Structure 1
């Protein structure tokens, strides 16, 4: 039971619930009564950790993401935001456009504003960034990224998710693959790629051709055309995320290939559009909301002193089978 459920039940915002419980601002009597009634009905008890954080120096948290236009990231922010609102903490959200120089400037800005911690989803691994964060002596949790053990992180089971997709494709009879993955400068892309490498090693009867691109629709279009110039069309395209898969599907259509009748396509994410694309996308479901929420909870544990040592939390995934794949 969390503050979000109280807000939904009372028909008010999370901020309003927080104000009523913390007595931190004026709230109308009508809304106050709705919140208190909801608290009583639901049996909600305020989070002890959150209450212990109200004397933080600035009560602000920095959040840096690489691409606000990617549907994955707003859900991450929503998950983190709900947890931070419950603790009466304000997130300061920055979009880096996948530019490491911008990320460095944003981190410097957040340090100057004396934020109490940072949720960070970097665009690429960089010693400059790591050295800057270490010098700030500030609690940091990496989201969907894993560093070298010095920092806490929360990620989905990237390796396991891609292994499930490969197993499923193989069970359908596919032996000729293209793999279009994200750029290796981030750990999530490398983990998914490693699962494909290992699958190829363990199955001598398959052929896989590889391309690396950005985690974007345009990346899927570009990589398809690149592979088409070099290799014959496969029976299935395995994609590193849903956006790449959408680009690959449209590239297939432009080349008069029907999905899934002439070629199958898979993704990774299961964002909102996956079920509504044409055709609906077979993919791996991960929860960006849980990614953000778990990261925020973990960061608050570090800030409060409840946790000292870095830890990596791995969130579960599941296979979603739709109409973009078919049996050979």
Structure 2
């Protein structure tokens, strides 16, 4: 339910129209900051008018774009890293539109860790708030610089070898040193519909400007998919303290999606083929729970109070 609510809040006006249809107004019941319940009727407007109102009465908010790749020295021995999506951005995909074009991200991470080493930082804050996730091959470039021993992305990784999945992976290379290669071999050799377990290869530490200080990971309810998974990974490996708001998405989850089209309607169906269990082995249906809880930024606040609180906690804990 928490995941559903977090998803719904991002597109509330469209969902309200789908539920209620065209209406003149809606009654909104709420609980005020002082805990008292209230009710207010809101007039319905066309979506173009809604955007115009938002532009004319824009609320103050932090000058922060979650999809940007940012690294900077915050001073006092604290370094900040916002990796952005764990996939190629539109500008990084080139003419082929490859979402897995990893070289620009690799260059960004190398630059960030070199700058951090030069700064002499004692603490690193990794900001995963509002991060939609992506692929482990991207996030491993960061985590592998924070560990001193090999690690596995999940404690258990299972795949259902359905007919579509077998067809998609039939011609993939069977490289035993990569998860894709092991997946291709396991799916090809399995009976149709069989559930197969795949041993994930170990990810080796990266020595290039590796960071040996304290690591803090900032999350919120909109840290989804791989962002939630790697926050749990760092928590389970004992290499990071999680701060912020419990994630709505769960780190023991279904993922690694494939798709197929329905024969009559042509509609595209996207489905997860894999089940991944976080390194701790916990299969509980709960998000990543922070060790240090920070409330979400208040509506209408221009300062990034979540980040300011995180920095204060880092400095106080020394």
TM-score (norm 1): 0.30
- Bigger strand share: 2
